[in-house]
Amino acid sequence: MNGAESLVATLVDRGVDICFANPGTSEMHFLAALENPRMRSVLCLFEGVATGAADGWYRMKDSPASTLLHLGPGLANGLANIHNAKRASSGMVNIIGEHSTSHLKYDPPLTSDIEGLARPLSHWVRRADSASAIAWDAAQAVARASEHPGQIATLILPGNTSWEEAGATIAPPVEHATRKTPDAARIEHVARVLRSGEPTLIILGNKATRGRALERAGRVAAATGARLGSQFFTARIERGAGRVPIERIPYAVAPARAFLKDFRHIVTVETKEPVAFFSYPDKPSLLKPEGTLVHPLVESDEDSALAFEMLLEALGAAATAPMLQPRVQTPAPSGALNPVSIAHALAAALPEDCIVVDESLTTGRETMGYTMGAAPHDLINNMGGSIGYATPVATGAALACPDRRVFCMVGDGSAMYTIQSLWTQAREGLNITTIVFANNSYAILKAEYANMGAGTPGERALAMIDLERPRIDWQAMAKSMGVPAVAVDTAEAFYRAMADSVREPGPRLIEVRL
Ligand SMILES: Cc1ncc(C[n+]2csc(CCOP(=O)(O)OP(=O)(O)O)c2C)c(N)n1
């Protein structure tokens, strides 16, 4: 067994059985090792697709995928979506090919400071130094990536460590990631706050927006009258009919402050107090009112399901039933396409148990609330603000959950960053409906121009936020990568196209002409 075979065998032994890859010459032995039938390898035509897909995989599986990237430039191409994954607490194992140790001293063209590129966006970076130690390195990378919250682990693989004989390899014992028990004094303190009856918002983040944690949070809210909220962006929320509803703090500073103005207390769970996404010359950074007290209940590495169980115990409210979102039957809309009719069409068409990846920006920003009473689904947001996350994340989510359809809502500007995802979706036959909101502009930046107080944009500034001249041909784009596409320009046609997309397996693209 050579080093590359030892690496792949260790990854799959430790549960990392998918690799989103974009290979080069230095990774040929790793490619050979991917013949291991226990590892699924998925070719991505841009590294940002590979790293975003690994993020999507983690969001649905809660366990890391691996990526294979080609030296420093391959890693650099993947960094923006590693940033988004890191902000979403998604774990991943990045394998970065590298020149063999003996070749590096000649400074060949692809040489770069890979550690320097990796470090700011990785929690753990290691350069393999021998084939025989690779199993150890790989096992540690998986252990780090699997911690709670998930971590970015980056293993640099010099060519010689992959082609040399690994001999008898040893790996550390399997570590099962555990989440810490929340601090009992903090639970008592928050129980006192809730008993006071003063207006309280409990803000849920990361894994607290689903499963047992969410259900128990719903019991706490029902027992105390506290309200449940989320940041504007959350890694994954289980929402829709039958789930505990969570109110979303608005994106823009003024409505966010208006939403928060009457709360005396904010209790944070796996998240921090709400801050504005950007700073503006005349607006505050913090969104809570002066005098509102912030009480951290669950830190990011602690177990929120356990915390709510302890809290219910402290409140003597374990038997309280949670408040659940009723099903709201939305009739299929007709007429003009606008954010409201689009949200109504979504609410009517989303099938039970689907996954929604949202990068709709201006089109969906104010109106996702209309889908609260839709059939139960998972909603995934961009946590890092680096656009171009949705189509890759949808790709990884669809691979993680092949029986669930993924709806990927994406602005045309955002879609253009990582549109190569469509090719991987076609090749792998993934059940993804990509909805491109074709407004032919960076519409959000038009609004931000005014919000920043930059005045009225001149012709040259406008040319930097307009996507006209030429218009993007989405039908041709999708077709060229093997994805069937339709264009719609009414709400009824949009609804029909979504419903149709569910009937046949495989990817579809809907161009929503705005
Ligand atoms: C990597 C990266 N580059 C640039 C930006 C700045 N940016 C934010 S939104 C946006 C335009 C988004 O356009 P689109 O997806 O079409 O949505 P719309 O604003 O039209 O709703 C840009 C360029 C960013 N957030 N991330």
Residues 431-460: pLDDT tens digits? Answer: 999 999 999 999 999 999 999 999 999 999
**Per-residue pLDDT reduced to its tens digit, 177-190:** 789 999 999 999 99
Per residue, the 3-state secondary structure of 176-239, as one string, reads CCCCECCCHHHHHHHHHHHHCCCCEEEEECHHHHCHHHHHHHHHHHHHHCCEEEECCCCCCEEE
H or E segment and range at residue 102 = helix 101-104
Q: Is 414 in the pocket of ligand 1 (CB under 6 A)?
A: yes
Does residue 71 lie within any of the structural domains? yes
Q: Is residue 26 scored above 90 in pLDDT?
A: yes
Last residue of a domain, one of 315, 348, 382: 315
pLDDT for 92: 98
**CATH classification at residue 23:** 3.40.50.970
Considering only residues 99 and 167, tell me which one the structure prediction assigns the higher pLDDT: 99
Boundaries of domain holding 374: 339-513
Is the pLDDT assigned to residue 176 strictly greater than 90?
no
Asked if residues 288 and 294 have their Cβ atoms less than 8 Å apart, the reply is: yes
The verdict on the CB of residue 363 being under 6 Å from ligand 1 is yes
Domain match, 190 and 124 both:
no
Nearest atom of ligand 1 to the alpha carbon of 411 = 15
The yes-or-no verdict on residue 477 having pLDDT over 80 is: yes
Burial 266-297 (b: 16+ CB within 10 A, else e): bbbbbbebbebeeeeeebeeebbeeebeebbb
| Cβ contacts of 488 within 8 Å, gap of 6 or more | 337, 494, 496, 497, 510, 511, 512, 513
Q: Kindly indicate the confidence band of residue 469, based on its pLDDT and cuts at 50, 70 and 90.
A: very high
| CATH number assigned to the domain comprising residue 266 | 3.40.50.1220
Q: Above 80 in pLDDT, residue 321?
A: yes
Q: Strand 247-248 vs strand 40-43: parallel, antiparallel, or unpaired? A: unpaired
Verify that 15 and 114 share a domain, yes or no: yes
Question: Does the structure show a pLDDT above 90 at 251?
Answer: yes
CA 462 to each of CA 185, 438, 456, 471: distance values in angstroms, whole numbers, following the listed order = 55, 17, 9, 16
Flag whether 327 is in a domain.
no
Q: Place 203 in a pLDDT band, splitting at 50, 70 and 90.
A: very high
Using alpha carbons, select from 372, 350, 430, 369 the residue that is nearest to residue 397: 430
> pLDDT for 381-394, tens place per residue?
999 999 999 999 99
Max distance between CA atoms of the chain, in angstroms, equals: 70
| Contact indicator for 274, 249 with CB cutoff of 8 Å | yes
Average pLDDT, the chain: 97
Place of tokens 């954010």: 339
The response to whether residue 411 sits with its C-beta less than 6 Å from ligand 1 reads: yes
- Residue bearing the CA closest to ligand 1, atom 16: 413
DSSP, collapsed to helix, strand or coil, labels residue 75 as helix
Helix axis angle, 491-503 to 339-349, nearest 10°: 30
Please identify, among 163, 194, 213, the residue that sits at the C-terminal boundary of a domain: 163
Q: What's the pLDDT at 173?
A: 84
Q: Same domain for 390 and 490?
A: yes
Residues 6+ apart with CB under 8 A from 13: 171
Q: What is the pLDDT of residues 262-306, one digit of tens each?
A: 999 999 999 999 999 999 999 999 999 999 999 999 999 999 999
184 half-sphere exposure, CB direction, 13 A CA radius: 2
| Any domain includes 259 | yes
pLDDT of residue 168: 82
E strand or H helix at 65: strand 65-70
Q: Is residue 332 part of a domain?
A: no
Determine whether the shortest distance from the Cβ of 440 to ligand 1 is under 6 A. Answer: no
Domain annotation covers residue 330: no
Domain count, the chain: 3
Does pLDDT of 360 surpass 80?
yes
3-state SS assignment for residue 498: helix
* 411 and 273 in a common domain: no
Query: Does residue 293 sit in the same domain as residue 393?
Result: no
**Distance in Å from the first CA to the final CA of the chain:** 56
Residue 375 alpha carbon to ligand 1 centre in Å: 29
Mean pLDDT of 488-500: 98
Q: Is 387 in the pocket of ligand 1 (CB under 6 A)?
A: yes
C-beta 47 within 6 A of ligand 1: no
Number of the ligand 1 atom closest to the C-alpha atom of 414: 15
**Same domain as 254, residue 224:** yes
Q: For residues 346 and 379, is the Cβ–Cβ distance under 8 A?
A: no
Q: How far is the CA of 471 from the centre of ligand 1 (A)?
A: 17
342 pocket-lining for ligand 1 (C-beta < 6 Å): no
Please check whether residue 18 lies inside any domain of the structure: yes
Local confidence band at 175 (pLDDT 50, 70, 90 cut-offs): confident
Judgement on whether residues 304 and 356 belong to the same structural domain of the protein: no
Percent of the chain clearing pLDDT 70 (strictly above): 100
Joined tokens for residue 7: 């690496």
Whether residue 308 sits in one domain with residue 214: yes
Regarding whether 156 and 11 lie in a shared domain, the answer is: yes
Asked whether residue 51 carries a pLDDT value surpassing 90, the answer given is: yes
**Looking at ligand 1, which residue's alpha carbon is closest to its atom 8?**
387
Q: Which residue type occupies 179?
A: R
Pairing of strands 377-381, 237-239: antiparallel
Per-residue pLDDT for 169 more than 80? no
Looking at the structure, tell me whether residues 54 and 133 fall in a common domain. Answer: yes
Query: Is residue 398 included in any domain, yes or no?
Result: yes
Residue pair 225/197 in contact by the 8 Å Cβ criterion: yes
The size of the chain, in residues, is 514
> Would you say residue 341 has pLDDT above 80?
yes
Mark whether 70 and 103 lie in a shared domain. Answer: yes
Q: For residue 169, is it within any domain?
A: no
Q: Which residue, of 315, 349, 364, is where some domain finishes?
A: 315
- 136 and 16 assigned to the same domain: yes
61: pLDDT confidence band, cut at 50, 70 and 90? very high
pTM: 0.98
Confidence of residue 174 (pLDDT cuts 50, 70, 90): confident
Confidence of residue 171 (pLDDT cuts 50, 70, 90): confident
- Closest to 366 in 3D by CA, of 328, 339, 335, 332: 339
